[in-house]
Amino acid sequence: MTPAEIIDRLAALREADLPTHGGRTLAYVYDSGVAEADELGRHALAMYGGTNGLDPTAFPSLLAMENDLVAFARGVLHGGPDVVGSATSGGTESIILAVKAARDAMPEVSDPVMIVPTTIHAAFDKAAHYLRVATVKVDVDPVTFRADPAAMAAAMDDHRERVVLVAASAPSYAHGVVDPIEQLAAATSSRGLRLHVDACIGGWVLPWVEDAPAWDFRVPGVTSISADLHKYAYTPKGVSLLLHAHPDGRRTQFFASADWPGYTMLNSTVQSTKSGGPLAAAWAVVQYFGVEGYARLVRTTMGGTRALVDGVEGLEHLHVVVPPDSSLVAVGTDGACDVFTLGDLMLERGWFVQPQMGFRGGPATLHLSVSAATAASVPALLDALRESVIEAVAAGPIVVDANLRAAAESIDPAALDDATFDGLLQVAGLAGEGGVVAVPERMAPVNALLDVAPPALREALLVAFLDRLTRP
């Protein structure tokens, strides 16, 4: 292929993707609506794509930009001069490193646990899985969906000798509410425990939200914070920050190895060789917006979020699960229609909203992350929701076929082999040519089936699905 043909092919491939710009994709992507900032980010990404963050002395440009970003974040999050940090590849890496730093700071604990509310992001489960730290999940308040400080404190005491970390969200992804960080910090400080605040999605919004509950380094006892730049800092994908209140808290995050014949490996993050592109792009976009620019974007975003919340409350059959503290809205139905059908109907109208499966007895919901670029089109979004609800109510809530449900319930997730999975694909109408999976136009029947599957089975089914998707 010629270069021009290759670019054409890349453009053609992109057409199947969700749009990253325009404010109509309400998960996965974040759009400032400022074309100049996007252009700047892409330019910096290309300029630095070939640089390597492996060795900060070999590419001092990357070290300077990382320190600049950490200093900016420290200011915005009200940290003192002791606050230090690292740029990582994303929220999950920041969280894995926060857990690793906490675990390795207590090497005497042979069976470490972390205490988290049930609403904590699944990245903590991933960190637990990778690092062999158990999670103790504590129920949240059933009405406010916020962590229950007394129950969290009781869990800290129940596992006294084993706790290496306590974590909470600002805000939680699924409901957009901030956990009571001050009360949690009082409980962790008096016990000498680390408290990580997961502000991956709120770290670049809450600093500019008036009347936001206290959650950042102003709260004594907060020992680390994760804040993603590739979400509400509106930078290209691939950058998050992990900040520690004090360098002592970070030391065990680092890794060095001199035990091989090559260069001495010295890493601050999980990645070793890492592109400087995302870091440079984040540096450029953060310079461009600055504190004032983000204040403006957050005003727009929060105005849009409030309009969306009010609008949803005015729609028949829909409600907002809990008034959010940030720019994330969870929407539920009264049972006259189901959220999975609504999601499909919204997609037909050019809007992507994200289904969230039922959890611990609570019903499935829709997740909407509002970007600055979404704010102006909230009336159009509400129109699309209204039309989708009418159509979904007319169709009626989706009913999972009893045989399929029985088949799903009889499967032992630990014993899900290829043949069983093939059978399920057939029954679910997902079997494509030659043993591969075919992703259907309408996701509602699949989502509804997954929703009734016990979580362990849902995980096993999705892993099998991913395995089939990723066979060239």
Ligand X SMILES: *Cc1c(COP(=O)(O)O)cnc(C)c1O
Contact indicator for 145, 321 with CB cutoff of 8 Å: yes
Cross-strand pairs, 355 = 366
Residue 7: both structure tokens together: 């670019």
For 57-66, the CB contacts below 8 A with 24+ separation are: 59/276, 61/276, 61/280, 62/276, 62/279, 62/280, 65/276, 65/279, 65/280, 65/282, 65/283, 66/279
Residue 421: both structure tokens together: 């999975």
List alpha helices for 110-246, DSSP H.
123-131, 149-158, 181-191
Window 236-295: residues binding ligand X (CB under 6 A): 240
Contact indicator for 21, 371 with CB cutoff of 8 Å: no
Match 């043949």 to its residue by tokens. 419
Query: Applying CB under 6 A, does 200 fall inside the site for ligand X?
Result: yes
CA 132/CA 112 separation, integer angstroms: 8
Nearest-approach distance from CB 364 to ligand X, in angstroms: 19
Give the x-and-dash track for 414-443 against ligand X (CB under 6 A).
Answer: ------------------------------
Amino acid letter for position 156: M
Query: Applying CB under 6 A, does 98 fall inside the site for ligand X?
Result: no
Nearest-approach distance from CB 224 to ligand X, in angstroms: 13
Binding window for ligand X (CB under 6 A); candidates: 10-18, 67-75, 194-202, 303-311:
194-202
Cross-strand pairs, 114 = 135, 165
Contact indicator for 317, 393 with CB cutoff of 8 Å: yes
Query: Applying CB under 6 A, does 333 fall inside the site for ligand X?
Result: no
User: For residues 62 and 97, which CB has a smaller minimum distance to ligand X in the complex?
Assistant: 97
Window 112-171: residues binding ligand X (CB under 6 A): 121, 123, 169
Query: Applying CB under 6 A, does 26 fall inside the site for ligand X?
Result: no
Three-class secondary structure of residue 155 per DSSP: helix
Residue of the chain from 25, 32, 86, 92 that contacts ligand X (CB under 6 A):
92
Nearest-approach distance from CB 92 to ligand X, in angstroms: 3
CA 448/CA 339 separation, integer angstroms: 9
Binding window for ligand X (CB under 6 A); candidates: 16-24, 133-141, 196-204, 440-448:
196-204
Binding window for ligand X (CB under 6 A); candidates: 198-206, 245-253, 317-325, 415-423:
198-206
Three-class secondary structure of residue 220 per DSSP: coil
Nearest-approach distance from CB 369 to ligand X, in angstroms: 8
Nearest-approach distance from CB 188 to ligand X, in angstroms: 19
Residue of the chain from 201, 212, 229, 392 that contacts ligand X (CB under 6 A):
201
- Residue 368's nearest CA partner among 352, 390, 349 is 352
Binding window for ligand X (CB under 6 A); candidates: 195-203, 264-272, 291-299, 402-410:
195-203
Residue of the chain from 72, 173, 208, 340 that contacts ligand X (CB under 6 A):
173
User: For residues 279 and 453, which CB has a smaller minimum distance to ligand X in the complex?
Assistant: 279
Residue of the chain from 23, 33, 41, 90 that contacts ligand X (CB under 6 A):
90
Which residues of the shown chain bind ligand X in the complex (CB under 6 A)?
90-92, 121, 123, 169, 173, 198, 200-201, 228, 240
